[in-house]
Structure 1
Amino acid sequence: MATGNLQFRIATADDARRLQQLVQCAFRAEDSRPDWTGDAGLAAHFRLDVEEVAATIASPDIVTLMAVDDSDALVASIEVSRRGGADCGRLSMIAVDERCQRGGVGRQVLAYAEDYCRRTWGARGLSLNALSTRKALIEWYLRRGYRKTGETTPFPRERFASLELPDDLCFVELEKAFGGVPDDAHQLA
């Protein structure tokens, strides 16, 4: 799977199954490297229904961006939404095909999503969260200009009731402020 020349587009209802497979595989990827971003116990139990993906695609408040390679193979995706009015965007569900992870694809997808939010909505900043146990992922976001807000969001333990989870498991909230809104805001679609 070549990833040198990614093309981005907004997902449609026809993309729901491909997106579900990508996200589920990316979140369940097994990687034994100690510094990797996954959590094997949780990853093995991660489930995402096609109906959930289709509902997200149909939502007027969320845009799912897809990154495809030259052969139209789905390489990555990310969800973007407005938060706090027009000046803050929210990023979620970033997923990169496990064969392309650690190759710079995540960086490209994140940069595109940030630019999309700035140009489409005039966002002056973005927020996202990461699982508290994913230290390497949080560090990756910090290197991309995000900062911890000091706030956390509860982890949905009821979805993983059969697992023994750390007592302090939560989502760490991060944010990034932009210096200004581009002159051509609202032009990218």
Structure 2
Amino acid sequence: MAPSNLQFRPATAEDAGQIQQLVESAFRAVDSRPDWTGNTELASNFRIGVEEVMPRIVNPDNAVLMALDGANILVASIEVCKRGINCGRLSMIAVNERYQQSGVGRLILEYAEAYCRQAWNVEKFSLNALSTRKALIEWYIRRGYQKTGETTPFPREKFSSMELPDDICFIEMEKDSNNISE
């Protein structure tokens, strides 16, 4: 069960290191649920640098949102980005391994959607998920997202030393603001 005392706030430049560590550890976490983690070798080789996180925090059309527990420990984060007139793009969703499967992911996603509605008057949300993470895609569908039928190429060049499935890509998904999560 998710901690009842979560507090949410936008990240500042001083938070970049914490967010970088959370995102890397969350993406590397091994989950026993079938099709949740996807390719474990790929997950274990995932890297993101503070220099990649910082621009996401300081860009005025972006925000990295944080969920902190009662002890002010970072539990989850998500990047939101204004896209066009009425669309918000969600990415870099990460939940501390200790809090996975507790409802924190749902809470940070709902907070991000509310943030986008309030800050940018967003009516539609988009995100993507790695095609090999079938259970995660199903989780997004339960949250009201639908596959658009479009895909985005996977950056194979970053993982050139690995054998990857030929069909690996990102599945694009959207949610209309009126489509409420279950």
**TM-score normalised to the size of structure 2?**
0.94
Q: C-alpha distance in 1, partners of 2:146/2:130?
A: 15
Alpha-carbon offset, residue 139 of structure 1: 0.1
Question: Are the counterparts in 2 of residues 3 and 75 from structure 1 also a CA contact under 8 Å?
Answer: no
Alpha-carbon offset, residue 35 of structure 1: 4.5
Structure 2 residue matching 1:92: 3-state secondary structure: strand
**TM-score normalised to the size of structure 1?**
0.90
Q: C-alpha distance in 2, partners of 1:45/1:35?
A: 18
Query: Could you tell me which amino acid in structure 2 is paired with residue 134 of structure 1?
Result: R
Give the equivalent residue in structure 1 for 2:121: 122
Give the equivalent residue in structure 1 for 2:55: 55
Give the equivalent residue in structure 2 for 1:133: 132
In structure 2, list runs of 5 or more residues that go unmatched. none
Question: Are the counterparts in 2 of residues 27 and 38 from structure 1 also a CA contact under 8 Å?
Answer: no
Q: C-alpha distance in 1, partners of 2:178/2:45?
A: 40
Q: C-alpha distance in 1, partners of 2:33/2:121?
A: 39
Structure 1, residues 65-100: CA drift from partner, whole Å, max 9, x if none?
A: 0000010000000000111x2211000000000000
Give the equivalent residue in structure 2 for 1:109: 108
Q: C-alpha distance in 2, partners of 1:8/1:39?
A: 31
Structure 1, residues 116-143: CA drift from partner, whole Å, max 9, x if none?
A: 1111111011000000000000000000
Question: Are the counterparts in 1 of residues 38 and 134 from structure 2 also a CA contact under 8 Å?
Answer: no
Number of aligned residue pairs: give it.
178
Alpha-carbon spacing, 1:143–1:41, altered in 2? closer, same or farther (3 Å): same
Query: Could you tell me which amino acid in structure 2 is paired with residue 12 of structure 1?
Result: T
Q: Please give the root-mean-square deviation of Cα atoms over the aligned residues, in Å.
A: 1.4
Give the equivalent residue in structure 2 for 1:3: 3
Percent identity of equivalent pairs? 66
Question: Are the counterparts in 1 of residues 130 and 169 from structure 2 also a CA contact under 8 Å?
Answer: yes
Structure 1 residue matching 2:97: 3-state secondary structure: coil
Question: Are the counterparts in 1 of residues 64 and 78 from structure 2 also a CA contact under 8 Å?
Answer: yes
Deviating 4+ runs (over 6 angstroms): none
Structure 1 residue matching 2:21: 3-state secondary structure: helix
Question: Are the counterparts in 1 of residues 9 and 66 from structure 2 also a CA contact under 8 Å?
Answer: yes
Alpha-carbon spacing, 1:55–1:42, altered in 2? closer, same or farther (3 Å): same
Structure 1, residues 45-78: CA drift from partner, whole Å, max 9, x if none?
A: 0001111111221222210000000100000000
